[in-house]
Amino acid sequence: MTLGQSGFKIYLMRLLLIFLATLAALVMSSCDNNQTAVDKATDEGILIMGNTSEPKGLDPHIVSGVLENNVIRALFEGLVVEHPSKDGVALPGMAEKWYPKNPDKPDEWIFELRKDAQWSDGTPITAEDFIFSFRRILTPALASDYSFMLYYIRDAEPYHKSQRTYLLCRNIAPFKDNWEILKEVDLGPNGESELDFNKKGIDHLNTKELIELKNNPSLFDWPNNISDEIRTVIINKNLEFAKSGKSLWELINFGASAEDPHTLKVKLNSPIPFLPEITKHYTWFPVPRHALEKYGKEKVWERIPEWTYPENIITNGAFILSSWKFNEHIEVKRNPKYWDAGNVGINGIRYLPISNLYTEDRMYFDGQMHLTYSLAPELIKYSRERYPNEVRNELYLGTYFIRTNVTRKPFTDPRVRIAFSKAMNQEALIENVLKGGQKPAGGLVPPFGEYKANDSVGFDPEGARKLLAEAGFPGGEGLPDIEFLTTDKETAKAMAEALQAMWKQNLGANVKIKQMEWTSYITTMFEKNYDLAAGGWIGDYLDPLTFLDMWMKDGGNNRTGWHSPEFEALLKKAADTGNPEARYRILEEAESLFLSERPILPLYWYTRNYLIHQDLKGWNPLILDNHPYKFLKLERNQNNRSEK
């Protein structure tokens, strides 16, 4: 069978179409082969970002680290959210409106919750969710490191600290107007006492123990100023309450209340004009009671890690947890139940737990991520020269410091602590090791606003040697070997080795370096199983108090063993001061007192150095680095990469 002329033309056309289709497929295949992981992720709307290590967890009431915060901010949302480009500006979150009841005295705030807010399983969110969450983080059994973030609320602190005697007796004679008479009584635990009841503290004695104490008051070591009458009142009040079977929660007049399902009222201990800024912190985020109650109604006040597993977790933020593969990634995707889902600019985020900065930077240069957690010091100059549009150096409200364990010799002596501080050459460390534009820390609180930064910290090797000699260790003689705890990052090792050499050269101290991965490092520091420990603090909100109130007695993030009644009295005085300028002066005084005893050794004020792909839009400089993910967008950059 032969083809006619017209048939032959049709045949040629078919061949041409087949050829063009094949060529197109080859071209597409070639393009796919050249496509990087970032290109593919941009097309899919998935942000890939470094997050330095495995999070300790994802329960907002348990964790206390920056890397955990990076994930939690995607999954949960508080009353207000960060502005994408302006520091200190709040935008609506779970609350549509918020205002102080009296603008001249902002000690009582109203938050009007949105009626369309719901959990990711469709359950409505109400003011009661916030009350439950506030109570949970303050419950002593939960042992939250960050519970002090809610101490601004009336009666939050005495509830969390189980101050039973104070709550029972504060409004009765003779204590109402003179609580100081009980200052020396071991209401809380006294580990230095030889008597069991003093070791435990009156507030923690059970019914049986209180009956024993009533029958035999000598079982407790009472201060001389406590009369038999006062002693009897204290014992009887505690015994009566213990027998009642009531919980301490029923005893307090908690400042937060649900006026109706969509109105949250928060009564504070003192006026705080910047309360909305504080509520941006994840300690103020709600958690789903109904999700926790699946493990038992009484267990909601305990640590239940299972509720945060991908198959169980229920959230209220712009994203939900879709995958968590240990040491590989955490991935979140859009939450279709989120109140503002239509305006969320990306489809998901993939967090990579890369602790080695050089590995992370290499992955970025190979097109495997949009955003690095940091930038290795040795690569800052290289990156600025070759990729000037992809390198960021930004102010970061934080201080890097070394914790000292004041319960261990020789750091029980403040002269030794200050000597180790003065022996650190901050500028040399920044110039030769860090190379990121950091500033030598003159104190704990970084300079910002009208607060006057302290300048008492600095390099003074002669002064360091003099103090060490006064403490009984001339030239370092008699100093025990000292262990310096730090993380397992390469940069952490380089910095530790530089400090090790400085302490040896300037003090004659023998310091051994102990590196641990993130979770073990945090646990070891919390248990105070160290001599010196690398540390740091990033501000939770734009106020000096965020750097100071963590050093209160038994504060979860203190971890030094240091405390001072005078220091805490100054913080309370500042809280009761309405004039902003006068308040700052009091806080400056508190910082000076803190630095005079030097439980930490301030080293430098942070900057952030990192790499950012040009496909990522809307990631603006923010001094707290709390970027609201929902405002981000991913778009293919039209220009070629900026390599020179």
Q: Phi and psi of 277, rounded to 5°? A: -65, -40
Q: Looking at residue 556, what is its pLDDT? A: 83
Spatial distance between the Cα atoms of 306 and 57, rounded to a whole number of angstroms: 10
Spatial distance between the Cα atoms of 290 and 277, rounded to a whole number of angstroms: 28
- Sketch the domain layout of the chain as residue ranges: 158-250, 394-608
Q: CB–CB of 338/629 below 8 Å?
A: no
Q: Please identify every stretch of the chain with a pLDDT value under 50, giving residue numbers as ranges.
A: 1-12, 15-31, 644
Place of tokens 């059970």: 206
Taking residue 207's Cβ as centre, other Cβ atoms within 10 Å add up to 14
SS3 assignment, position 45: coil
SS3 assignment, position 567: helix
Please choose, from the candidates 521, 534, 489, the residue with its C-alpha nearest in 3D space to the C-alpha of residue 359. 489
Q: What would the two tokens of residue 227 be? A: 């009369």
72-99 per-position pLDDT tens digit: 999 999 999 999 999 999 999 999 999 9
Q: Looking at residue 33, what is its pLDDT? A: 59
Q: Looking at residue 22, what is its pLDDT? A: 34
Please choose, from the candidates 643, 637, 642, the residue with its C-alpha nearest in 3D space to the C-alpha of residue 38. 637
Q: Looking at residue 7, what is its pLDDT? A: 45
Question: For residues 122-154, b (16+ Cβ closer than 10 Å) or e, as one string?
Answer: ebebbbebbbbbbbbbbbeebebbbbbbbbbbb
Please choose, from the candidates 180, 147, 172, the residue with its C-alpha nearest in 3D space to the C-alpha of residue 569. 180
Q: CB–CB of 538/396 below 8 Å?
A: yes
Q: Looking at residue 6, what is its pLDDT? A: 43
- What percentage of the chain reaches a pLDDT higher than 70? 94
Task: State pTM to two decimals.
Answer: 0.86
Residues with Cβ within 8 Å of 298's Cβ and at least 6 positions away in sequence, in order, are: none
Whether the upstream peptide bond of residue 174 has omega within 30° of 0, thus cis, is yes
CA dist list (Å): 623 to 519, 540, 620: 26, 11, 10
Q: CB–CB of 453/442 below 8 Å?
A: yes
Please choose, from the candidates 309, 351, 359, 354, the residue with its C-alpha nearest in 3D space to the C-alpha of residue 332. 351
Whether the upstream peptide bond of residue 410 has omega within 30° of 0, thus cis, is yes
474-516 per-position pLDDT tens digit: 999 999 999 999 998 888 999 999 999 999 999 999 999 999 9
Question: For residues 157-173, b (16+ Cβ closer than 10 Å) or e, as one string?
Answer: bbbbbbbbbbbbbeeee
Taking residue 13's Cβ as centre, other Cβ atoms within 10 Å add up to 10
Which of the 8 DSSP states describes residue 295?
G
Q: Phi and psi of 266, rounded to 5°? A: -125, 115
Taking residue 221's Cβ as centre, other Cβ atoms within 10 Å add up to 13
Mean pLDDT, all residues of the chain: 92
Q: Looking at residue 295, what is its pLDDT? A: 93
CA atoms within 13 A on the CB side of 352: 21
Spatial distance between the Cα atoms of 199 and 341, rounded to a whole number of angstroms: 53
DSSP string, 300-338: GGS--GGGGSTTT----SSEEEEEEETTTEEEEEE-TTS
User: What separation, in Å, do the N-terminal and C-terminal C-alpha atoms of the chain show?
Assistant: 64
Q: Looking at residue 448, what is its pLDDT? A: 84
CA quadruple 336, 337, 343, 349: dihedral sign = negative
Give the distance, in angstroms, between the CA of residue 37 and the centroid of all CA atoms in the same chain: 31
Question: For residues 478-495, b (16+ Cβ closer than 10 Å) or e, as one string?
Answer: ebeebbbbbbebbbbebb
Q: CB–CB of 441/507 below 8 Å?
A: no
Say whether domain 394-608 belongs to CATH 3.10.105.10.
Answer: yes
Query: Where is 419: in which H helix or E strand?
Result: helix 414-422
Which of the 8 DSSP states describes residue 177?
T
CA quadruple 547, 553, 555, 559: dihedral sign = positive
Q: What would the two tokens of residue 95 be? A: 């609350």
Question: For residues 282-303, b (16+ Cβ closer than 10 Å) or e, as one string?
Answer: bbbbbbbbebbeeeeeeebbee
Give the distance, in angstroms, between the CA of residue 591 and the centroid of all CA atoms in the same chain: 20
